[in-house]
Structure 1
Amino acid sequence: MPFPLDVPESELRRRRSEKWRAYPEDVLPLFVAETDVLLAPAIRDRLAAAVADGDTGYFAEIERLAGVCARYYSRFGYDVPEDAVVPVNDVGVGVRESLARTVPAGSGVVYTPPVYMPFGPWIRRVGMTPVAVPLLDHDGEDPRLDLAGIERALADGARAVLLSHPHNPTGVVHSRAELAELAELAVRYEAVVISDEIWAPLTLPGVEFSSFLTASDAACEVGLAVSSASKAFNLAGLKCAFVVNGNPERFEVRRSALSGAVGHFGALAAEAALVDSLDWLEQMRAALASNLDLIEKLLTEHLPLARWRRPDAGFVAWIDLRGYPGLGNNPAKLFLDEGRVALSPGPAFGSEGEGFARVNFACSEELLTEAFVRMGRVAAERG
């Protein structure tokens, strides 16, 4: 079992986070995007020292955290100025506040289903209208932006594009050429691109990630990127993310308005992650790659009619189960009811996800294997 995905199930079941409390104990949880890891040692030690010292008050070191995030994010092809980084509570807050502060009220916002379930609600929550422009070949080997469709939406009045990059759930890393063309469209139609890049630290071995802001000069003119250490280092409950403002002169996204919501422990953990835990992160990426090799084997053995595209980044796999018509439009429901395996339902990502399910594979080989054995049994009976 590869480190760091080597935590026994008996230990995991003591956790009180959503992944291990949402379902009864006979269910294998491979749904919400939490990872089955212990904290990286530097993060564990920093948080333990803070508790020992009673250092549990309000977060104050805005400039320090902004510098940490700027230096880390500069590895993705853009020399990030420290004053362009705005720490925020989480990626959802960063996206919503960026929309609210850069896009006229009531505007249409393009998003690219099948995509992360909260995108539509986030857009509506700030008084704007979601405009779906599905990925081309979203169910094939080459998922990509429908740039012609996005241009039509912008021509019809949409004033922003909410990008998932790397894309959740397909795992595709959009190409620099796609992103550069998207930036040109945004310039042409005076639109904004907000790029959710929370999965950026988790590109898999052999894959390179470049932020939207690196695609061209135009991308910085129209873009903001939002990211966090939370997915890569399993820190979601500590509440810390950041916005990289590509054009501070144009976009009024200010630290004074947003940074007060950052969790103190989240900031301490983010610094320990992004400065002192990068070797651990490499081990995590290698473990995820090993689990992808295992998924290929498990699909062949237990779900031979399923299709998938090996993701470029992240720890979720987008599985096409339409080869088993007996599983219906929402295979995850039957896998839960009859196999006691919890996955993310495909239709939750948009109508394009009917017949699909999303599998969180950031777990031990034993749990992953047992989950596919159970799903294969259900598919054989129902398919």
Structure 2
Amino acid sequence: MAIFDVPLSELQQRTSMKWRRFGADILPAWVAEMDCRPAPAVRDALFEAIETGDTGYPEGDVYQRAYADFAARRWNWQFDPADAVIVPDVMQGAARVAELLTAPDSHIVVNNPVYNCFYGYLPWVGRNVLEVPLTADHELDLDALEDAFAGRLGPKPQGYLLCNPHNPTGTQFTAAELGRVAELADTYDVTVISDEIHAPLMAADSGFVPYLSLPGTENAVTVTSASKAWNLAGLKAALAIGGSRSAEALRTLPDEVTHSASHLGLISHAVALTKAEDWLDQVIGEIESNRHLLARLLAERAPQLRYHPGPATYLAWVDCSALGVTNPAAVFRTRGKVALSPGAIFGSGAGQHVRVNVATSPEILTEVVERMVRAIE
């Protein structure tokens, strides 16, 4: 059975953000929630915890060890679980690591268009965002990064919040690109924080490169989680993993950070990583199929909308500039009754795009496109 084979009538009973932000007449394809039921192993572990009353405070390193084993199997990346600390979720972790390793009011580089929460959480901890756009092909602009790191594009930054793999474009960065980033970070004394929350959604043979697996990343930190790949965002738990020199600093994060994850979150994430890998592989295959379905449907039904599937994430970055409207997402929502993420929230120059969540059934994805088409006819 397909993992995304969940009827719309059942999905509409959900009370999470995706299904409650807009009215009942709006079909949601925006926020990063997948339209699936939990992996059976995760469901069973949560049932057992509830049945036995195992709902107290978290303890131990089961999550760290589970992620280390998963990373070794999937990407041949070896790290010491002792170099990872629990954080509540990836964005809180990234923000608190930035707060720990950079100075107040300093600047942090991001590659726009990029996950919209980067623009909220960094100022939340008193850091400023310095944009260095991706290239037109959604690749890292290494020359521009060097100019930024050197202080030639504005204030010299102390940090770089990397999105690897990239949300919303779906780009998978190469070892050569990331290796050059490490060289530049070392040369210009910039601390790299790599958000790798979408990494488990990369196929095992995809060639995904964990940033900390590269030489020269000893001062960097990766923040990651099982939440996106197994649809566990409501079960809070994430990891901040330090390079060989930054790991000691991570251990000084305050208790309000390292003790704020959910015990049920830790249980579910660890079980997902250790007992639900086959389920994940099926999800990856269904997402890949849906990316191509979206590309085909748009080419057939709305060729003025440009979409080139990237290899990463279940989020599609669609160029709507040919429509000539200020806010394409608003047009799709008001005229087509379909909610997509507006490009403007992902940084400068992105206002003519929308982000579409393809982690749903082919039938619902087809209806998403039909509503988009109705909106622009």
- Same fold, TM-score > 0.5, yes or no: yes
> Over the residues paired in the alignment, what is the CA RMSD in angstroms?
1.5
Question: What secondary structure, in the 3-state scheme, does the structure 2 residue paired with 1:230 have?
Answer: coil
Distance 1:251 1:170 in 2: 33
Q: Do structure 1's residue 293 and structure 2's residue 292 form an aligned pair?
A: yes
Aligned counterpart, 1:375 = 372
Distance 2:119 2:246 in 1: 28
Alignment of 1:54-65 (within 5 A): 54-61=53-60, 63-65=61-63
Distance 1:132 1:183 in 2: 18
Aligned counterpart, 1:76 = 75
Identify unmatched segments of 5+ residues in structure 1: none
- What is the deviation of 1:206? 5.9
Counterpart residue identity of residue 64, structure 1: V
Q: Do structure 1's residue 308 and structure 2's residue 307 form an aligned pair?
A: yes
Aligned counterpart, 2:139 = 144
Q: Do structure 1's residue 230 and structure 2's residue 259 form an aligned pair?
A: no
Q: Deviations over 1:258-286 (max 9, x none)?
A: 32111001001011100000000011011
Q: Report the TM-score, using the length of structure 2 for normalisation.
A: 0.95
Alignment of 1:163-312 (within 5 A): 163-204=162-203, 207-215=206-214, 217-219=215-217, 221-248=218-245, 252-254=249-251, 257=254, 258-312=257-311
Distance 1:329 1:211 in 2: 37
**Farther-moved stretch of structure 1 (196-205 vs 102-111):** 196-205
Question: What secondary structure, in the 3-state scheme, does the structure 2 residue paired with 1:180 have?
Answer: helix
Question: What secondary structure, in the 3-state scheme, does the structure 1 residue paired with 2:114 have?
Answer: coil
Distance 1:12 1:209 in 2: 32
Identity of counterpart residues, as a percentage? 39
Question: What secondary structure, in the 3-state scheme, does the structure 2 residue paired with 1:218 have?
Answer: coil
Q: Deviations over 1:24-47 (max 9, x none)?
A: 111110000000000000000000
- What is the deviation of 1:249? 5.3
Counterpart residue identity of residue 175, structure 2: R
- What is the deviation of 1:250? 6.7
Aligned counterpart, 2:12 = 13
Describe the shift of the 1:164–1:256 C-alpha distance in structure 2 as closer, same or farther (beyond 3 A): closer
Distance 1:25 1:169 in 2: 26
Describe the shift of the 1:205–1:331 C-alpha distance in structure 2 as closer, same or farther (beyond 3 A): farther
Does structure 1 retain, via aligned residues, the 8 Å contact 2:78–2:213? no
Distance 1:314 1:204 in 2: 11
Counterpart residue identity of residue 353, structure 1: A
Counterpart residue identity of residue 197, structure 1: E
Aligned counterpart, 2:28 = 29
**Farther-moved stretch of structure 1 (2-11 vs 331-340):** 2-11
- What is the deviation of 1:293? 2.0
Question: What secondary structure, in the 3-state scheme, does the structure 1 residue paired with 2:65 have?
Answer: helix
Distance 1:250 1:299 in 2: 46
Distance 1:250 1:66 in 2: 13
Counterpart residue identity of residue 14, structure 1: Q
Describe the shift of the 1:255–1:265 C-alpha distance in structure 2 as closer, same or farther (beyond 3 A): farther
**Farther-moved stretch of structure 1 (251-260 vs 151-160):** 251-260
Give the structure with the higher percent helix. Answer: 1
Question: What secondary structure, in the 3-state scheme, does the structure 2 residue paired with 1:116 have?
Answer: coil
- What is the deviation of 1:370? 0.9
Question: What secondary structure, in the 3-state scheme, does the structure 2 residue paired with 1:265 have?
Answer: helix
Aligned counterpart, 1:134 = 133
Does structure 2 retain, via aligned residues, the 8 Å contact 1:329–1:356? no
Question: What secondary structure, in the 3-state scheme, does the structure 1 residue paired with 2:316 have?
Answer: strand
Q: Deviations over 1:108-146 (max 9, x none)?
A: 110010000011222111111110111011xxxx32112
**Farther-moved stretch of structure 1 (66-75 vs 335-344):** 66-75
Counterpart residue identity of residue 347, structure 1: A
Question: What secondary structure, in the 3-state scheme, does the structure 2 residue paired with 1:296 have?
Answer: helix
- What is the deviation of 1:105? 2.0
Q: Report the TM-score, using the length of structure 1 for normalisation.
A: 0.93
Describe the shift of the 1:42–1:6 C-alpha distance in structure 2 as closer, same or farther (beyond 3 A): same
Describe the shift of the 1:24–1:250 C-alpha distance in structure 2 as closer, same or farther (beyond 3 A): closer
Q: Do structure 1's residue 66 and structure 2's residue 64 form an aligned pair?
A: yes
- What is the deviation of 1:204? 5.0
**Farther-moved stretch of structure 1 (352-361 vs 120-129):** 120-129
Describe the shift of the 1:132–1:278 C-alpha distance in structure 2 as closer, same or farther (beyond 3 A): same
Identify unmatched segments of 5+ residues in structure 2: none
